[in-house]
Amino acid sequence: MASAANPNNMNAVRETMDVLLEMSRLLNTGLDMESLSICVRLCEQGINPEALSSVIKELRKASDSLKVSENCTN
């Protein structure tokens, strides 16, 4: 089994993340590299991708609602 510190493995991981980020941008997910990396790690640990997607959507809605209410109070 290849170690995570193996330069070839690190290059493969970097390339994979670059491809995933480009796909994410094409699909207009709004995820940056850090957020995408977190999502990938969560999925690798067994989190259901559909459930993760739902949570992200709900958090965005809540964030948008807070921004609107802050704008109304200012």
Q: Do residues 29 and 38 lie in contact, with contact meaning Cβ atoms separated by under 8 Å?
A: no
Structure pTM? 0.77
Residue 60, H or E segment: helix 49-73
Tens-digit pLDDT profile for residues 27-74: 999 999 999 999 999 999 999 999 999 999 999 999 999 988 888 887
Closest CA to 27 of 36, 40, 16: 36
Contacts of 6 (CB under 8 A, 6+ apart): none
> The tokens of 35 are what?
């957020």
